[in-house]
Structure 1
Amino acid sequence: MNAPAPERPLPTPTRESQPFWDGMREGRFMVQHCAGCGKARHYPRPVCPHCFSMESTFKEMPTGGVIHTWTVCHHPFNFFFKASAPYVVALVDMDGGVRVNAPLRGVTEADIKIGQRVKLGFEPVTKEITLPFFVAD
Structure 2
Amino acid sequence: MSTTAVPPAPERPLPTPTRESQPYWDGLREGRFMLQHCSACGKVRHYPRPVCPHCFSMESDWRETSPEGTVHSWTVCHHPFNFFFKQMTPYTVVLVDMAAGVRVNAPLRGIAAEDLRIGTRLRLAFDPVSKEVTLPYFVPA
Match of 2:28 in 1: 24
Q: What runs of 5+ residues in structure 1 fail to find an aligned partner?
A: none
The structure 1 residue matched to 2:103, chosen from 95, 99, 109, is: 99
Q: Does 1:10 align with 2:14?
A: yes
Match of 1:82 in 2: 86
The 3-state SS of whatever aligns with 1:6 is coil
Matches within 5 A, 1:56-75: 56-75=60-79
When the two structures are superposed, what TM-score results if normalisation uses the length of structure 2?
0.96
Q: What runs of 5+ residues in structure 2 fail to find an aligned partner?
A: none
Asked which structure has the greater CA Rg, the reply is 2
Percent of aligned pairs with the same amino acid: 69
Give the C-alpha shift of residue 96 in structure 1. Answer: 1.1
Superposed CA RMSD: 0.6
When the two structures are superposed, what TM-score results if normalisation uses the length of structure 1?
0.98
Match of 1:127 in 2: 131
| Displacement over 2 Å in runs of 4+ | none
Give the C-alpha shift of residue 21 in structure 1. Answer: 0.6
